[in-house]
Amino acid sequence: MAIVVNLDLVMAKRKMSLNELSDKVGLTLSNLSILKTGKAKAIRFSTLESICSVLKCQPGDILEFVEEEEKTIS
């Protein structure tokens, strides 16, 4: 099971750069980059709320649950 972060896709649809989002949300570039690349272990609801407010989207537009395919042993 995996949570996929689609922040880059939503930003691209809104034609917003990471720098612009960082300024509007009030997060550092490094923290947003960690989230964008899927390396974050957690996200605060307040942060998610701010990002959704700025990008005018729903949390489900940014976060997606994807089941990992089971690997079969040959």
Domains, the chain, ordered by start = 2-66 (1.10.260.40)
Q: pTM (2 decimals)?
A: 0.85
Report the pLDDT value the prediction gives residue 73, as an integer from 0 to 100: 58
Tokens of 22: 């960082």
Report the pLDDT value the prediction gives residue 17, as an integer from 0 to 100: 97
Across 16-43, b (16+ Cβ under 10 Å) vs e yields: eeeeebbeebebeeeebebbbeeebeeb
Report the pLDDT value the prediction gives residue 5, as an integer from 0 to 100: 95
pLDDT in tens, 58-71: 999 999 999 876 54
Give me the residues of the chain with pLDDT under 50, please.
71, 74
Are the CB atoms for 25 and 47 separated by under 8 Å? yes
Residues 39 and 10: their CA atoms lie apart, in Å, by 17
Q: What are phi and psi of 2, to 5 degrees?
A: -150, 145
